[in-house]
């Protein structure tokens, strides 16, 4: 049997080598064609310019360059496939047939002379590997169902083109196998997970493109990976209508963006368009935005009940309703038009003909005819209608008409006594008795409010068009932010997050359902964690009272709480004695000031890096904050200053939970004073 498997791998590698060699020849030809074309254009530029063929020549060169780029991309994927051509196999016998199909599954199709050597993991037939155990199975191709039986499921470990091992299983992938895979150390970048996708994850990945989903997944449930693999699936399934640049992902910060940047390239796809909400605000309002990390620092260092109350209110749909009622009511009612009259003709007797737009007509159009529109849309429509009237009377050209429309827009905006976004924001906040923005930075909690006002008054300056949207860390956004997302993008989406990882607020199941309905999403919950050991998962779940969580039965040590006389010495000892085999260790602090102090002092004992930039994640021992570490994972996590003074309230409890769930293999707490009363779990070992 082993000889047969080795032989099949050799055949597959030969097919790949054949394709790689063919690609190299095609690339050389295409590169030469491009260079020759550029040279010819340069030498005959004047002739082409005079003959009117210049644009045609540029177009031809662009086509050649695009073909060259496609070959380069294909070659990258072939080289990826050569390292590990496939990871699984199923033997499937279709109903009413005797011949069994042997289907090998990898990151991409491998076909030669109409023979399928490997099927892409996204192909319909590969779905059976994720969805069925041995026995009856079926697949859908378009709307047609094909039934049959799976008689074998085999998994392979192939690295550097070598077959290292394989095994048969009745399951897609059971806990024992998962445990072996998850026991590996963290890598610098998030990895693709095509060989370990579970049935419930596969259902999300392969959902129809038009069905939007809100995924509530506990820490370590793989929700970000699922969203990225869904993007890869859509790029495969709809390759003629959607490409990487058509998919936008909203990331929490640049460090997280860097962390996930290799997932799609590992699958042979280009990366998506990535941005943060803060970047969108800056591009539209030309103002910097307070970071989430800075907001959380404010909350944990100098919290006030007024601040927490305001955060709670701004995180509610009641606040969104209040903002929209204000914009559509009291603010809009300040629009007070005047009569507009323009002379369009004057004869020799100085008799004049006027076009007049009485105030009553403007009011009628503004408050009744175009009542359902935002302010900027009403003004656009009225300005266009008035400009067209002029055009009809004076036979203006299209260019003159556009200029006239812009002049009317300015006049119509002048009928508003206040039209500055900042001033409208200040008035609304005063009406709601809320603290207004301080300094030049927009408060983190107000970024959505500013953008909602800007959009209502003027629309957006930039086109953020996309065919598919991914929103990560959903729980960090407010209903106003989500309202703005709906204005920015009118396309299907997958929104992922975990309400248990909220730090500054509490989110209920009712809020989740309201948000799903508001976005037009199907709500899906993932309750199994794959990240941490059983002991860490038990501690984290017990810590916040989660009872319905499943976890992979991967054993490790209980989290340990050390009460010591010198934390820096103790942490240096933990790293050297208990974490020597680990590549990524994080000391996760409560706030930035604590992290800076810890990094400075710990560096006297052991080399460490304060994590501030994406490249910092490459270092072995990192000092960071809970807010910065969110979404990232580490081999071991150490939470310092875990005493009764530092961790005592609900927000502190949330911080401990989020920080704890970053750990894969080991979790430690240290303190020099009385341990936090929050750390009373039976799943915690104290030393």
Q: Which burial class, exposed, middle or buried, applies to 501 when counting CB atoms under 10 A from its CB (0-12, 13-18, 19+)? A: buried
What's the rounded Cα separation, in Å, for the pair 668 and 658? Answer: 14
Tokens of 116: 């399928």
At a CB cut-off of 8 Å and minimum separation 6, what does 151 contact? 91, 92, 93, 100, 134
Residue 115 phi, psi (nearest 5)? -105, 130
Neighbours of 94 (CB within 10 A): 15
When mean pLDDT is compared across 73-82, 438-447, 488-497, the lowest value belongs to 438-447
State the helix-helix crossing angle for 447-458 and 421-431, rounded to 10 degrees: 120
Model confidence pLDDT, tens digit, residues 70-123 = 888 889 999 999 999 999 999 999 998 889 999 999 999 999 998 999 999 999
CA 390 centroid distance within chain: 48
Per-residue pLDDT at 549:
86
Do residues 494 and 227 touch, judged by C-beta distance below 8 A? yes
Tokens of 107: 């990151």
* Residue among 171, 165, 164, 435 at smallest CA distance from 290: 435
Residue 168 phi, psi (nearest 5)? -100, 150
* Residue among 415, 355, 430, 346 at smallest CA distance from 390: 355
How much is the mean pLDDT over the chain? 90
What's the rounded Cα separation, in Å, for the pair 230 and 209? Answer: 9
Whose tokens are 């017990």? That residue is: 542
User: What percentage of residues in the chain have a pLDDT greater than 90?
Assistant: 66
What's the rounded Cα separation, in Å, for the pair 646 and 644? Answer: 6
Tokens of 288: 């910097």
* Residue among 684, 431, 677 at smallest CA distance from 559: 684
Q: Torsion-angle region of residue 71: left (phi > 0), alpha (psi -120 to 50) or beta?
A: alpha
The model's pTM is: 0.90
Identify the residue with better confidence: 605 or 179: 605
Per-residue pLDDT at 178:
57
Confidence of residue 522 (pLDDT cuts 50, 70, 90): very high
pLDDT at 167 over 90: no
At a CB cut-off of 8 Å and minimum separation 6, what does 115 contact? none
Per-residue pLDDT at 49:
63
Per-residue pLDDT at 403:
84
Neighbours of 28 (CB within 10 A): 11
Angle at 627 between CA 625 and CA 631, to 5 degrees: 110
What's the rounded Cα separation, in Å, for the pair 606 and 74? Answer: 45
Per-residue pLDDT at 173:
59
Tokens of 673: 């004073």
């Amino acid at each position: 049997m082993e000889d047969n498997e080795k032989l099949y791998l050799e055949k597959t590698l030969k097919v790949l080598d054949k394709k790689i060699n063919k690609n190299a020849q095609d690339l050389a030809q295409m590169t030469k064609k491009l260079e020759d074309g550029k040279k010819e254009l340069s030498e005959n530029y004047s002739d082409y310019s005079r003959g009117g063929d210049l644009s045609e020549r540029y177009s031809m060169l662009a086509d050649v360059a695009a073909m060259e780029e496609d070959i380069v991309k294909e070659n990258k994927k072939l080289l990826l496939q050569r390292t590990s051509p496939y990871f699984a196999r199923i033997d499937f016998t279709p109903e009413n047939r005797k011949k069994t199909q042997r289907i090998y599954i990898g990151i991409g199709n491998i076909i030669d002379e109409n023979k399928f050597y490997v099927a892409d993991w996204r192909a319909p037939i590969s779905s059976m590997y994720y969805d069925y155990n041995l026995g009856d199975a079926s697949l859908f191709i378009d709307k047609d169902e094909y039934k049959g039986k799976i008689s074998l499921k085999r998994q392979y470990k192939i690295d550097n083109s070598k077959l290292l091992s394989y095994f048969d299983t009745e399951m897609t992938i059971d806990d024992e196998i998962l445990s072996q895979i998850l026991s590996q150390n963290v890598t610098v970048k998030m990895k693709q997970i095509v060989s370990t996708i579970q049935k419930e994850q596969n259902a999300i990945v392969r959902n129809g493109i038009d069905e939007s989903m809100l995924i509530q997944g506990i820490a370590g449930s793989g929700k970000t990976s699922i969203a990225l693999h869904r993007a890869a699936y859509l790029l495969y399934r709809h390759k003629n209508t959607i490409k990487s640049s058509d998919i936008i992902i909203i990331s929490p910060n640049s460090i997280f963006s860097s962390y996930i940047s290799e997932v799609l390239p590992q699958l042979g796809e280009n990366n998506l368009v990535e941005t943060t909400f803060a970047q969108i605000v800056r591009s539209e309002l030309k103002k910097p935005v307070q970071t989430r990390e800075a907001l959380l620092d404010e909350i944990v260092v100098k919290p006030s009940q007024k601040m927490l109350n305001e955060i709670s209110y701004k995180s509610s749909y009641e606040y969104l309703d209040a903002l929209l009622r204000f914009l559509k009511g009291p603010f809009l009612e300040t629009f007070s038009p005047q009569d507009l009259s323009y002379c369009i003709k004057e004869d020799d007797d100085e008799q004049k003909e006027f076009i007049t737009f009485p105030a009553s007509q403007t009011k009628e159009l503004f408050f009744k005819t175009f009542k359902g529109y935002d302010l900027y849309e009403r003004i656009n429509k009225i300005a266009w209608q008035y400009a067209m009237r002029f055009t009809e009377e004076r036979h203006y050209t299209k260019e003159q008409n556009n200029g006239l429309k812009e002049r009317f827009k300015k006049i119509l905006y002048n009928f508003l006594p206040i039209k500055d976004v900042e001033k409208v924001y200040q008035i609304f906040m005063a009406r709601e008795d809320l603290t207004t923005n301080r300094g030049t930075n927009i408060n983190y909690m107000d970024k959505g409010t500013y953008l909602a006002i800007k959009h209502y008054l003027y629309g957006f300056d930039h086109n953020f068009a996309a065919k598919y949207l991914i929103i990560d860390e959903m729980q960090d956004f407010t209903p106003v932010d989500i309202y703005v997302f709906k204005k920015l993008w009118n396309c299907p989406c997958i929104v992922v997050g975990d309400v248990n990882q909220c730090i500054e607020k509490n989110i209920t199941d009712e809020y989740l359902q309201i948000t799903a309905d508001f976005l037009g999403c199907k709500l899906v919950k993932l309750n199994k964690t794959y990240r941490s050991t059983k002991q860490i998962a038990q501690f984290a779940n017990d810590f916040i009272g989660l009872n319905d969580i499943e976890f992979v039965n991967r054993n490790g040590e209980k989290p340990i709480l050390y009460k010591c006389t010198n934390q820096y010495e103790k942490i240096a000892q933990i790293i050297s004695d208990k974490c020597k085999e680990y590549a990524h260790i994080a000391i996760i602090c409560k706030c930035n000031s604590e992290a800076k102090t810890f990094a400075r002092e710990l560096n006297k004992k052991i080399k460490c890096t304060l994590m501030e930039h994406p490249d910092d994640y490459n270092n072995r021992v990192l000092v960071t904050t809970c807010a910065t570490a969110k979404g990232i994972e580490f081999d071991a996590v150490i939470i310092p200053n875990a005493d009764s003074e530092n961790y005592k309230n609900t927000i502190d409890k949330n911080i401990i939970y989020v920080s704890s769930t970053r750990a894969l293999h080991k979790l430690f707490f240290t303190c020099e004073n009385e341990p936090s009363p929050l750390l009373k779990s039976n799943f915690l070992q104290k030393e």
